């Protein structure tokens, strides 16, 4: 979350493993599990790798789940919750349960000083509850594809990356009434539009705009998007100030509506 106004952090994932020269093939694996009594938390992981000197394929999977965890002592004065007829023990921290499943398959080829790598990932979160906000996440599914090339030349190193992510959030309206969708934080106008339409399909309200990253140009673009997707509320907040932001988006919307009306009558 946040406006990412200070920069972006790039995290390096573990490099693919290849067999050593003369080793032939490399095969290895790992399996693990854990259990915690507090919240009946449990999980497991498994990984496997097969590689030659120039080819590597690896799989990694993990699962984790937990009920609500308990505090060291009673910290509430009443067992009543926000849901009618539902109570919790005085030492139980409500809405802290979660369940997730993760899978990733990676394939890599290496030739001399050149490396090509592809990773496909799938994440499923049936539920992840939030104790401090009405924004419980239910049935979240993420599919991602990452491509990477790295080559070492006499003049330096060339590295290129490409990726695609597809994330869907199905949030029950009684858990989350409104979601703020910031422009241009989602990375593109198409993503902003799709996120807004997804909220409409799930009967969840949309706050569009309101990012500290916005300029007068992005605010004008957001005004056209707002006219198209009909958000519950359109927030005018380019970095130059609220009054100026309201003026910019109001004038841009008026111009767009006037231009549309002129075309419709000819």
Q: Which residues are catalytic?
A: 182
Q: How far apart are CA 174 and CA 87, in angstroms?
A: 18
The strand pair at 205-209 and 178-181 is best described as parallel
HEC readout, 157-211: EEEEEEEEEEEEEECCCCCCCEEEECCCCCCCHHHHHHHHHHHHHCCCEEEEECC
Phi, psi of 52 (to 5 degrees): -115, -165
Q: Residue 18: name the closest of 55, 69, 45, 61 by CA.
A: 55
Counting beta carbons within 10 angstroms of the beta carbon of residue 35, is it exposed (0 to 12), middle (13 to 18) or buried (19 or more)? exposed
What is the secondary structure of 101-143 as a DSSP string?
Answer: EEEEEEEEEEETTEEEEEEEEEEEEEEE--SSSS--EEEEEEE
Task: Say if residue 152 is preceded by a cis peptide, omega within 30 of 0.
Answer: no
Name the β-bridge partners of 65.
42, 99
């Amino acid at each position: 979350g946040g406006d990412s106004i200070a920069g972006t952090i790039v995290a390096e994932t573990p490099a693919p493993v290849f067999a050593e020269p003369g080793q032939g093939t490399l095969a290895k694996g790992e399996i693990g599990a854990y259990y915690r009594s507090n919240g009946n938390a449990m999980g497991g992981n498994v990984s496997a790798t097969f590689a030659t000197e120039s080819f590597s394929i690896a799989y990694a999977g993990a699962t984790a789940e937990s009920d609500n965890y308990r505090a060291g002592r009673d910290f509430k004065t009443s067992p009543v919750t926000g849901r009618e007829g539902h109570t919790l023990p005085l030492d139980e921290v409500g809405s802290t349960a979660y369940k997730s499943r993760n899978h990733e398959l990676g394939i890599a080829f290496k030739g001399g000083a050149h490396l090509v790598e592809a990773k496909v990932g799938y994440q499923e979160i049936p539920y992840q509850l939030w104790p401090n906000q009405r924004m419980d996440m239910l049935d979240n599914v993420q599919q991602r594809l990452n491509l990477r090339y790295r080559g070492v030349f006499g003049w330096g190193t060339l590295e290129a990356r490409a990726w695609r992510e597809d994330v869907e959030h199905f949030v029950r309206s009684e858990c989350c009434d409104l979601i703020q969708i910031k422009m241009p934080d989602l990375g593109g106008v198409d993503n902003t539009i799709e996120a807004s339409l997804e909220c409409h399909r799930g009967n969840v309200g949309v706050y569009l705009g309101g990012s500290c990253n916005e300029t007068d140009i992005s605010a004008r673009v957001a005004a056209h998007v707002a006219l198209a997707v009909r958000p519950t509320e359109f927030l005018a907040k380019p970095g130059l100030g609220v009054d100026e932001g309201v003026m910019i988006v109001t004038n841009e919307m008026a111009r767009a509506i006037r231009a549309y009306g002129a075309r419709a009558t000819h």
